[in-house]
Amino acid sequence: MGAKPLRSMLYVPGDKPRAIEKAQTLGADAVILDLEDAVAPEKKAEARHNVREALRGAWPCPVLVRVNGQGSEWEHEDREMALLSGVDGLVLPKVEDARHVHALQLRVPLWAMIETPQGVLAAPEIAAVPGVSGLLAGANDLARALRTRPHPERLPLLHALSAVVLAARAHGKIPVDAVFNDIRDPHGFEQECRQGRALGFAGKTVIHPGQVAAAHAAYGVSEAEAHSARDLLAAWAVARAEGRSVATYQGALVEQMHADEAQEQLELWEASVKDAGAANPLA
């Protein structure tokens, strides 16, 4: 993973050319052009054409394509189009078997969607595949498969969501939280972002332009947090220069792991204020 954060990954339906064009201006950390669930069967070919054309242009952020899944009639055409068009990564839906992902060997970053019970159980093996850059939680399909009831705090899904984070983090991959469906409820979206960050997710997949800024606020590093991280690192540097293996900062004990965390926060903050043309974090 590069230093640039992935606070938001915006889904855009492949059969909506105006939405694809607008997505270039919305400031998302990454865009996912969708050929799968957001596109009806009779629109698949049209969507593939639109995505091919979109990938020919210059984008201010990494662009991924969510292809149709294993065994579908569109699977191979989707992948071939995306790879030949220079996509920054592929999103694979409903991944349940690490062997299938390992066999692809597509030489582009792969993002595995964990959205079924079997996918959750296999998440550690999927995350361990060298070509996988991250895991995307898919709460809608997972909730349906588990026969859960809607809950404002996602209580029935917490075990599965944490399992996705655990698997990704254990193998140095990026976990990204599921979409929030109600675009009319910005407060609910913000709450879910805060919960996702508390669970350990690095960012959130979003489905509406209005959700991008809120995702960045929840998953980003504020200027105040960056200043605090810088001050902590300064205190740590003094302690190490004096031969001490611990320091104190604002009354709290500081060890190497705290310094590492502060350095990571500072790097993320610095990356977030750079121009959109910064290095691709998905490679």
- How far out from the chain centre does Cα 218 lie? 14
Residues 63 and 113 in one domain: yes
Half-sphere exposure of 279 (CA within 13 A, CB side): 9
Regarding whether 257 and 213 lie in a shared domain, the answer is: no
Residue ranges of the chain with per-residue pLDDT less than 70: 1-3, 274-283
Residues 177, 196 contacting (CB under 8 angstroms): yes
Say yes or no: 66 and 173 in one domain.
yes
Within-domain flag for 251: yes
What per-residue confidence (pLDDT) applies to 3?
54
Asked whether residue 90 falls in the same domain as residue 190, the answer is yes
Statement to judge: residues 251 and 167 lie in one domain: no
pLDDT score for 283: 45
In a domain, 214, yes or no: yes
Task: Identify the pLDDT of residue 270.
Answer: 87
Domain count, the chain: 2
> What's the pLDDT score for residue 268?
85
Instruction: Let me know whether 193 and 67 are in one domain.
Output: yes
- Domain range for 173: 8-219
